[in-house]
Each structure stands twice: as structure tokens, then as C-alpha cells.
Amino acid sequence: MTLYERYLNGETEKVYEDIHKLGKNAFLPDTIFDIEKVLTETFERVAFNLDIIYKELVEMNYLFKTDFQFNFERPLIKPLPETDQLLSELNEIVKPFGFVPTSLKLFYKIVGACNFEWDYNTNEDFIWECADPIQIISLDDLISYIAEEDNQENFQESYEEDGFIHLELSSDYLHKDNISGGMPYSLQITQQPSIDSNFLYEEHHTTFINYLRICFNNCGFSRITNPEYDNDYKAFFKKVKPQLKKI
């Protein structure tokens, strides 16, 4: 079977393990078409799952932010009409340092953006403590942020010190709960073209796609089951989990 057929057959994690093993061969003409079909299916499922979780959270009166100044504050955004243009701008900005992973490009083309953060400015009595709601910044706001002169200088410093740069995509779980926290969760820009990349400064030490998988295994909240906190999530899981698709 092809990678895509195996993915549809339920081998979701194993398929991505095999894609990773391909390395640069993933971009060979007879391989990349199959992999892009897998990625498209994956991010269509991501979009589906986010819609389900959002609907269920609205029904339970979860406190989303409603007074928006920027797109990244909105709970869900579908792909922007200017996505292709913005991705071209993103490619040009990171070009001196490497390549935007295909996974992030497909996320912005198929999913858009999401922010399931609790509106702590309205009510600091969180329904779930330090649950780490899923949050991926919108493409327009990402471009606006990294295009600033200070951030261009930071890219150069980071590249000289670490050998790579990263794109900040999400606040960490403490900042999401209005607590001073650590580095934003960030996607590593790779030296060579890549299908996926490391999702940095997040406790699972994994890739972007696998981080999304972890989020959906926990119904949109990657740390909600942490025994350190007494989060009452079981009824929510029972209702939501059966509706979600494996990625």
C-alpha cells in the first residue's frame, strides 16, 4: 500500500515515522505526491477536530475571548484569502536561515489558526488549571511579528548561536494561565527542506504534527490530565473524544 493508503487504514503514527526516515528522499518526485496526500488528509482532520472541540466548548460556556484586536486572539480562523502571498513572504524572510517545514505551510493552507485560551481578563477562575489549550498564531500576525527589525536581528543572533532560527507559534502553558512563564512554543526552521520539524520549548520534545496529535489525544488541552492539578475533565473527554479523528 502507499503511505496515503496506510494512513487511511489507521497507521497514522507509523506513516509519519516512515516519512521521517526518508529524510531528503521524501521530496523525490515519485514520493512527495504521496506524502502531500497524507499531509492534506492530516490537516483536514486537524481542522475537523478543532471545529468539534470548539463547538463542544461553546456549548459548555467555555470563556473564549470575544473582544478581538488581532486575528491571533480569535478561537478559530479559517485560511486567509491571502495565505499563498503570506507564505511567500514567510519563505523570503526565513530564506537566509533555512526552510519553512511543509507541515506548517499545510496547516496555514488547510486549517488557518486557533486559540482556545481562556479569557482570563474577564474571569481568572479557570475551568481547568494549566491545561495548555491549543493555540497556533494566525499567519498574518506571525508575518507582522517576525518582519519587525528587532526580530530580524534576533534571527541573526539565534542563527549564529544555535545554528538555526525558530518561529514562535504559541504561548507556553503558564502564559496561557496569566502566569509568568517560559519561552513560547516554536517551530524550528530547518537547514534543508523538511516535511515536519521540532516543536521547541514544549515539554513533550516532539515534532509539530505529533504535538497536534498529543493535543487531540487530550481533546485540545495537552496538559489537562496532569495529576498535579485537580482538573475535572472526564465528562468533557467522554463527549468529545469519540468524535475526533486520529491524525
DSSP code of 80?
P
CA–CA separation, 153 and 168 (whole Å): 15
Instruction: Give the pLDDT score at 143.
Output: 95
Instruction: Give the pLDDT score at 152.
Output: 81
CA–CA separation, 106 and 31 (whole Å): 17
Task: Give the total number of structural domains in the chain.
Answer: 1
Distance, C-alpha 202 to centroid of its chain: 11
Residues 6+ apart with CB under 8 A from 78: 112
CA–CA separation, 210 and 239 (whole Å): 23
Compute the half-sphere exposure of residue 173: CA atoms within 13 Å on the CB side of its CA: 17
Structural domain containing residue 102:
3-243
**What are the C-alpha distances in Å from 244 to residues 14, 132, 213, 239?**
19, 18, 11, 10
Residues found in the chain: 247
Instruction: Give the pLDDT score at 180.
Output: 86
> CB count, 10 Å around CB of 222?
24
CA–CA separation, 214 and 41 (whole Å): 17
Give 124: exposed, middle or buried? Use CB within 10 Å, 0-12, 13-18, 19+. Answer: exposed
Instruction: Give the pLDDT score at 17.
Output: 97
Give residue-wise pLDDT tens across range 14-25: 999 999 999 999
Contact by Cβ (8 Å): 16, 41: no
Contact by Cβ (8 Å): 61, 125: no
The list of the chain residues with pLDDT below 70 reads: none
pTM of the model: 0.96
Give residue-wise pLDDT tens across range 113-139: 999 999 999 999 999 999 999 999 999
